[in-house]
Structure 1
Amino acid sequence: MTRTFLTLLLAALTLLASACSTLDRSPPPTLERQANWVVLPFANHTETPLAGQRAEAIAEAILHSNGISKVKRYPSNLQQEALFDAGERRQQEEALAWARQQGARYALAGAVDEWRYKVGVDGEPAAGVALQIIDVGSGDTLWSGSGGKSGWSREALSAVAQQLIRSLLGSGLSGAR
């Protein structure tokens, strides 16, 4: 019975390790939960159209679920989604200027580096994002984190991305009061 238990335990650990994620994060800053927040346009560094906007929507929902109640999203009529956008920095500066006009204290910015189903028999979902919390007034980055996660063949890509963004933002918001 002990040998069977050890075999099952080893199989379970192997199974858990096969849905991998990698995260790198800076220490959590002290943030004010009741401050005004904005979600800036996420850069899309993938070949998947609208991946940035999909990640923005997930991030906004996760901010709300973490007690950040005053969140605005950069207006879609001002966004430009392109697969290869050379004006990415200019757009972020324009978005920060908009955030200042809105009276925001913090901005969540990001980039999507992977958003796809892997090629192969199983077609596992894979997402990769980099996030930053920015002090809108100074433009300083207060926190940053990046990560990648792959899931099981029957998992939705949006579910894998949600888990990844939740893990990243959870560490960035842990110092919020």
Structure 2
Amino acid sequence: MKHLIKLFCALVASVALFSGCAVIDHSAPSGADKSAQWVLLPFGNATETPFAGQRAEAVTENLLRSLGVARVQRYPASLQNDTLFESGQPKDAARALEWAKEQGARYAVTGTVDEWRYKVGVDGEPAVGVALQIVEVDSGRVLWSGVGGKSGWSRESLSGVAQELIKSLLVPALK
């Protein structure tokens, strides 16, 4: 009996340990048509990490394709006024939405990165925090939004943790 109790306690402790590694909240599925034209608008970078928004954009673009959104176009870098430490949403968000309309896009994906780093300390765990939105281009109405944060173990890569987090946000959005 003691062995069973110890085993149960170990199982509960393991579940508690692993459940603290990610937090995700999102609205109901977007109902968006995966076969429509989609665009990826610039992500805001609310971190101290240079180009975190652009890194998250690249991961999101590739994940959208792998999840069945075949027609995805990314906002051209030539139209962005990049600075290393741009905070919040890009200043030209309205211009980016107009560009999306010109492309004939039905949906736009945008977001903000609020954490993209290796934590300070002995182990240096990767940590990522992202907020995403799917917007109906014609109306500007937000169809879906989600936010999440995830940290990994000391031997995991930052890009791997980011990919896991963004995928766990997008999968329910595209149902």
1:46–1:83 contact (8 Å) kept in structure 2: no
1:44–1:82 contact (8 Å) kept in structure 2: no
Distance 1:141 1:111, change over 3 A: same
Percent sequence identity is 56
| 2:69 alignment partner in structure 1 | 68
| 1:12 alignment partner in structure 2 | 14
Cα deviations by residue, 1:1-40 (Å, 9 ceiling, x for unpaired): 535644653453354235x111111111211111000000
- Mapped to 2, the partners of 1:157 and 1:4 lie a distance apart of 35
| 1:148 alignment partner in structure 2 | 149
- Mapped to 1, the partners of 2:13 and 2:162 lie a distance apart of 26
1:45–1:83 contact (8 Å) kept in structure 2: no
| 1:55 alignment partner in structure 2 | 56
Aligned length: 173
- Whichever residue aligns with residue 101 of structure 1, its letter is E
- Mapped to 2, the partners of 1:86 and 1:11 lie a distance apart of 38
Distance 1:87 1:158, change over 3 A: closer
- Whichever residue aligns with residue 112 of structure 2, its letter is A
**TM-score (normalised: structure 1):** 0.89
- Mapped to 2, the partners of 1:136 and 1:87 lie a distance apart of 20
RMSD: 1.9
Deviation at 1:84, TM superposition (A): 4.3
Distance 1:90 1:7, change over 3 A: closer
2:47–2:87 contact (8 Å) kept in structure 1: no
- Mapped to 1, the partners of 2:9 and 2:148 lie a distance apart of 31
Cα deviations by residue, 1:136-167 (Å, 9 ceiling, x for unpaired): 11111111111111110110000111111001
Deviation at 1:43, TM superposition (A): 0.6
| 2:4 alignment partner in structure 1 | 2
2:131–2:145 contact (8 Å) kept in structure 1: yes
1:62–1:166 contact (8 Å) kept in structure 2: yes
Moved more, 22-31 or 80-89: 80-89
- Mapped to 2, the partners of 1:123 and 1:101 lie a distance apart of 44
Aligned pairs (5 A) from 1:125-140 = 125-140=126-141
| 1:167 alignment partner in structure 2 | 168
